[in-house]
Amino acid sequence: MIKPLNRMRTRLAATLAAGALTAVAAVALTPAVAEAAPAFTSTPCSNSNSPVHYLLPGQSMASVSYVCAGDYMFASQNDGNFVIYNNGGTPVWASGTNTGSPNTIVMATNGNLLIYNSADYLQWQTGTGWTDHRNYGAYVCFQTDGNMVLYAPNGGNHTCSGTALWASGT
């Protein structure tokens, strides 16, 4: 379940129609953790033992929200940055998209994970969307080990295993 941190605002770009994202240029794929917000003493996910969460094709994670997986918090912050925090509240990965306004995270149907700002401009992407449909059906797993992984389509099974197309490396 995705939980609100503040007011939940969802903006989904009109370009999310199937196949409409093929001309998007690649953006930085290795964000700096230093751009994350200051560490907390703990997170709402500490000792939560929450299961793995998914972001399936066509789904989005609203701005200013978070999900827990294990003791890790995957947070879309009100400054626009998407950050993974460990159970001590220390950021272990960040998208580097702190634009000053909330962003929306989108799992496009073409296999690309995207972050849009509140004006619906692309801020970041994994670069895994292909026009030949090879990654259609790919999905994101927020794993209990703190890793965020984009998995190749697996016949509709969302097991968080198989071929990883991209990972946060945490």
How many domains does the chain divide into?
A: 1
Residue 111 lies in a domain: yes
17 belongs to a structural domain: no
What is the model's pLDDT at position 104? Answer: 92
Whether 3 maps to a domain, the answer reads no
Would you say residue 96 lies in a domain? yes
- The confidence band for 118, taking pLDDT boundaries of 50, 70 and 90, is confident
57 falls within a domain: yes
Asked, for residue 58, whether it belongs to a domain, the answer is yes
Q: Are 94 and 82 in contact (CB under 8 A)?
A: yes
Give dist(CA 101, CA 90) in Å, integer: 22
10 Å Cβ neighbour count for 161? Answer: 11
Torsion angle (degrees, nearest 10) of CA 14, 20, 25, 30: 70
User: What's the mean pLDDT in 55-65?
Assistant: 88
Closest-CA residue to 48 (of 144, 134, 152): 144
* Residue 75 belongs to some domain of the structure: yes
Give Cα 46 to chain centroid, integer Å: 20
Is 12 inside any structural domain?
A: no
CATH number at residue 130: 2.90.10.10
Note down the domain range covering 131: 30-167
- 92 neighbors 69 (Cβ within 8 angstroms): no
Query: Given pLDDT bands bounded at 50, 70 and 90, which one contains residue 1?
Result: very low
**pTM beyond 0.75, yes or no:** no
